[in-house]
Amino acid sequence: MKIIILDGYAENPGDLSWEWLSDYADYTVYDRTPKELIIERAREADILVTNKTPIGAEVIDACPDLRFIALLSTGYNVVDHAYARKKGIPVSNIPAYSTKAVAQLVFAFILEHYNNVGLHSASVRCGEWTANPDFCYWKAPIFELDGKTIGIFGYGSIGKTVAGIARAFSMNVIATSPSHRAGCDGDVRFAEPEEILPIADIITMHCPLTAQTQGMVNAGFISQMKRSALLINTSRGPVVNEQDLADALNSGRIAGAGCDVLSTEPPAADNPLLTAKNCFITPHIAWAPFETRTRLMDIFKGNIEAFIKGTPVNTVN
């Protein structure tokens, strides 16, 4: 049996091990696979593994021995899972491994925006403190989180974790979710978006990418927000209309944004958010802490073991 991993580098750039795979099969790990080499590299696989390399019907048809497709991610849109089902090939993903890490990055964005740590550290390193006549100074306003209102769009496991951290900062938490139209979950109140947007100091997106959420954060959405508000997106890039967000930031319509995901990754050089004012962008790293990737690897191992035993788990098709 052969296990072929098409793009293993992001999950394991060298600080984890693939050696355990040898207990189950011969294996080959490619750091990355360009589109033109997918079929050539995949065709002998019994188990095909991908993170972001697309596996469409044509790839599945080109692999006569393919029995299982394993993802190194939660999202599974890169696999034609419906076609795989027709061919009797289970597809498994990695659920709920990065919840705490994503919530942590949300607050990294929030704290950077409210405390301006990077700005002040750079100022000190440039000699501004040693030349200052006062024992302290600040280059931009600094605010407390205590009493601020955070609006959470999507109240799954990540949204709930963000809410818990927010309450530890004594913030007011209000959320919107298709499964929670009204009422409360402890100190978290549920409301419709049109009620949340005008009162939230921070809006953080944790909704899945669907036909309804694609482009949800657009000019109309932003026009309802406070001018002092911060927008954070760690969900999916296409949830945000990037030109509308860039226009809002450049015009001062909102105060700032933090994005870990963009509509195309890596982004094109002319992506408007790359040059927008007060926009922090990280290269899709919310899932990347060592402990988080270790957890992903453990779940992946469990998915492989379960399939080999004849009882696949975490299947999406």
Strands, E, within the chain: which ranges? Answer: 2-5, 26-29, 47-50, 68-71, 91-92, 149-153, 172-176, 184-185, 188-190, 202-205, 230-233, 256-259, 279-281
Of 207, 210, 220, the C-alpha closest to 247 is: 220
Of 142, 163, 164, 143, the C-alpha closest to 151 is: 163
236 classed as catalytic: yes
Helix (H) or strand (E) holding 161: helix 157-168
195 classed as catalytic: no
User: Which of left, alpha, beta for 144 (phi over 0: left; psi -120 to 50: alpha)?
Assistant: beta
167 classed as catalytic: no
Kindly name the residue from 41, 113, 236, 295 that is annotated as catalytic.
Answer: 236
Kindly name the residue from 167, 180, 253, 284 that is annotated as catalytic.
Answer: 284
Within 8 A by CB and 6+ apart from 237, the residues are 259, 261, 262, 263, 264, 265
Of 202, 228, 224, the C-alpha closest to 145 is: 202
Helix (H) or strand (E) holding 292: helix 290-308
Residues acting as catalytic residues:
236, 265, 284
